[in-house]
């Protein structure tokens, strides 16, 4: 047994060493190509000192994906490093070159026939599934995925282009604060779209930018997401042209609405679907961000705060964060529920959205009636369901109701019941 373990360990070490040597060689070759490409365009770039920084980035990329990053990915990783180093002008010059290259790769989506479908009215129904962080919106999403013609977005994760750092809402907040968009803002949006923020936090610690990188890199390399990527890059190009100009808030919002609608249309066209299920694209406590999208349907799912705290804290620890105390969570929970109550009427009256509030507990324990409400809200009664409907099973989800009884302390339960009494289910 000992010799077998020793042999297995030796082989593993050899493979790791080989991979490390290969990745270093691969990186050096790609950096040489990048330096040559930049020189041809008159961009002075010294790549020698990038190697120690790029190597761990490359290793993390390999751990998270089943393929090596291509030249364009590494090119954009260099832009991310320059952004952190505050070599802003050089980063922007490289970004312009990279943008042109990426758009040239996606010229198929400039086809007039494709564009005639993408531009203009929606190609289907856009539904935002919005929760409060482990409040049960995934149950509604699983149920809706069972209907023919639906597609979940983003692929394999939440949609982050609106809500996360460097995203469209973040840039709007910066614009309102500073009066105009600066080079740093433009760079952050580009790095968000292509997923090459330079992450300084060590692996295992909570990083919103790392989450962005993972989600965006999946999209960049997903064959069925290329139309969506093309429209995001076109939107980025339009926003880039607004850099340094004051008084553009309304124009920015208009561009975002049109650009996101084109991107959403592109997903439905490319995947031959008519219902787009946007997973946490705008979470419940970020409902004001809904000003950036054209009229859509919002299903907002809330949950008993006692059970939500249990699952939310488990998720925070898993992602390298710190648990909430019961007192902290109650304050946040009440604040967010009040915000939703305030903003739902605004979304409907001012932005033309339609909203449906759903209780996770009721959706599970009274599934027939609650699922009927959702079907009627989305006008789905005429659409067939396939085997995917089995993805949601109320008899399984019911195990997530009342789980707090054996996990939370009596003191924490009493505190929550006192602070959130009007929200208990």
Question: How many CB atoms within 10 Å of residue 70?
Answer: 11
In the sheet with 275-279, reading across from the earlier edge strand, the strands are 150-153, 275-279, 125-130, 297-302, 354-359
Question: 241 lies in a domain?
Answer: yes
Long-range Cβ contacts of 384-393 (<8 Å, 24+ apart): 384/147, 384/148, 385/146, 385/147, 385/148, 386/146, 386/147, 386/148, 387/146, 388/145, 388/146, 388/147, 389/143, 389/146, 389/147, 390/146, 391/142, 391/143, 391/145, 391/146, 392/139, 392/142, 392/143, 392/146
Question: 62 lies in a domain?
Answer: no
Tens of pLDDT along the chain (425 residues) come to 444 456 666 665 666 566 566 666 777 777 777 777 777 777 777 655 676 777 777 777 777 776 677 888 988 998 999 999 899 999 999 999 999 999 999 999 998 988 988 987 778 999 999 999 999 999 999 999 989 899 999 988 899 999 999 999 999 999 999 999 999 999 999 999 999 999 888 877 889 999 999 999 999 999 999 999 999 999 999 999 999 999 999 999 999 999 999 999 999 999 999 999 999 999 999 999 999 999 999 999 999 999 999 999 999 998 888 899 999 999 999 999 999 999 999 999 999 999 999 999 999 999 999 999 999 999 987 666 655 545 788 889 999 999 999 999 999 999 999 999 999 97
Question: 345 lies in a domain?
Answer: yes
Range of the structural domain that residue 209 is part of: 106-423
Q: CA-CA distance, 418 to 273, in Å (whole number)?
A: 46
Q: What is the pLDDT of residue 142?
A: 93
The number of distinct structural domains making up the chain is 1
Q: CA-CA distance, 224 to 219, in Å (whole number)?
A: 9
Question: How many CB atoms within 10 Å of residue 49?
Answer: 9
Answer yes or no: are the C-beta atoms of 62 and 109 closer than 8 Å. no
Question: 300 lies in a domain?
Answer: yes
Q: What is the pLDDT of residue 169?
A: 98
Q: What is the pLDDT of residue 122?
A: 78
Q: CA-CA distance, 102 to 89, in Å (whole number)?
A: 20
Question: 5 lies in a domain?
Answer: no
Question: 31 lies in a domain?
Answer: no
Q: What is the pLDDT of residue 5?
A: 53
Question: 85 lies in a domain?
Answer: no
Q: What is the pLDDT of residue 66?
A: 67
Answer yes or no: are the C-beta atoms of 113 and 289 closer than 8 Å. no
Q: What is the pLDDT of residue 255?
A: 98
Question: 206 lies in a domain?
Answer: yes
Answer yes or no: are the C-beta atoms of 275 and 124 closer than 8 Å. yes
Q: pTM for this structure?
A: 0.89
Q: What is the CATH number of the domain that holds 399?
A: 3.40.50
């Amino acid at each position: 047994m000992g010799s077998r373990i020793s042999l297995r360990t030796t082989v593993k070490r050899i493979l790791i060493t080989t991979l490390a040597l290969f990745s270093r060689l691969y990186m050096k070759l790609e950096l040489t190509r990048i330096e040559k490409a930049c020189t041809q365009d008159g961009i002075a770039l010294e790549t020698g000192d990038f190697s120690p920084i790029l190597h761990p980035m490359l290793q993390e990329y390999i751990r998270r994906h089943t393929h090596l990053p291509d030249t364009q990915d590494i090119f954009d990783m260099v832009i991310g490093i320059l952004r952190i180093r505050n070599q802003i002008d050089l980063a922007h010059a490289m970004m312009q070159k990279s943008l042109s290259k990426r758009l040239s790769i996606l010229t198929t989506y400039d086809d007039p026939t494709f564009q005639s479908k993408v531009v203009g009215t929606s190609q289907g129904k856009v539904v935002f599934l919005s929760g409060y962080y482990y409040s049960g919106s995934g149950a509604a999403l699983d149920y809706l995925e069972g209907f023919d013609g639906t597609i979940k977005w983003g692929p394999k994760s939440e949609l982050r282009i609106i809500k996360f750092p460097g995203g469209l809402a973040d840039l709007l907040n910066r614009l309102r604060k500073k009066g105009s968009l600066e080079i740093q803002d433009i760079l952050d949006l580009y790095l968000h779209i292509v997923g090459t923020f330079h992450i300084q936090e060590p692996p295992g610690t909570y990083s919103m930018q790392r989450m962005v990188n993972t989600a965006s890199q999946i999209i960049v390399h997903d064959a069925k997401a290329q139309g969506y990527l093309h429209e995001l890059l076109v939107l980025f190009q339009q926003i880039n042209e607004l850099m340094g100009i004051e008084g553009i808030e309304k124009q920015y919002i208009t561009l975002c609405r049109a650009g996101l609608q084109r991107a959403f249309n592109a997903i439905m066209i490319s995947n031959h679907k008519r219902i787009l299920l946007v997973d946490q694209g705008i979470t419940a406590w970020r409902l004001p961000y809904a000003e950036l999208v054209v009229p859509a349907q919002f299903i907002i799912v809330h949950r008993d705060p006692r059970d939500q705290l249990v699952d939310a804290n488990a998720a925070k620890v898993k992602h390298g964060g710190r648990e909430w105390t019961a007192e902290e969570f109650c304050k946040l929970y009440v604040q967010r529920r009040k915000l939703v109550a305030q903003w739902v009427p605004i979304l409907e009256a001012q932005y033309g959205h339609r909203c449906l509030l759903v209780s996770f507990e009721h959706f599970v324990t009274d599934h027939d009636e609650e699922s009927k409400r959702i079907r009627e809200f989305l006008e789905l009664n005429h659409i067939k369901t396939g085997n995917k409907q089995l993805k949601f099973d109320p008899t399984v989800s019911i195990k997530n109701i009342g789980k707090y009884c054996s996990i939370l302390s009596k003191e924490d339960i009493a505190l929550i019941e006192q602070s959130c009494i009007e929200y208990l289910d």
